[in-house]
Amino acid sequence: MTDTLLVRLKPYDPRRGHVLRRYTYAGIKFQEERGWYRVERPVAEYLRAVREVPSDRYAPLAFDVCTEAEAKALDAGESEAAKVKRSATDDLKVVPARTAVTTEDLPPKPNTPPPSSKDDDGPKRGKRERE
């Protein structure tokens, strides 16, 4: 099994540019929701270079390509990140609220002179016409 690797489409995350849900190569249809696929090394090496947007060389990579140990570590890290959400039964600390600030609490504004009529005499910019 040394001449095989595990590959998967990166999890859907539009903020990071991971938007591919499906990808087909060499007759294999990769689906994001299915997870890991075991493929031969030449297929994995090709998929290692596939980008989310084919014509953009700066677009994020579309696939995770790993050995079995690396894939297990990646899955473990993701499951830990998913457990961050707290439940009501957790020992939760009190989060203090900020004190209310009103306009009376703000420092007084410095005296600024009112705008002069000279400022209004300048040329006005007209609206731009649509083409």
Asked which of 24-33, 54-63, 111-120 is least confident by mean pLDDT, the reply is 111-120
Asked which of 31-45, 49-63, 99-113 is least confident by mean pLDDT, the reply is 99-113
- Residue 93 domain flag: no
Alpha-carbon dihedral angle through residues 26, 28, 30, 36, given to the nearest 10 degrees: -110
If you count them, how many residues does the chain have?
131
Rounded average pLDDT over 76-89: 73
- Residue 72 domain flag: yes
- Residue 43 domain flag: yes
DSSP string over 7-67: EEEPPPBGGGTB---EEEETTEEEEGGG--EEEEHHHHHHHHT-BSSTT-TTSPBSEEEE-
- Residue 22 domain flag: yes
- Residue 25 domain flag: yes
What pTM, to 2 d.p., does this model score? 0.60
pLDDT of residue 104: 80
- Residue 102 domain flag: no
> How many domains would you assign to the chain?
1
Residue 12 is part of which domain span? 4-79
Cβ atoms 71, 42 nearer than 8 A: no
Asked which of 4-8, 13-17, 77-81 is least confident by mean pLDDT, the reply is 77-81
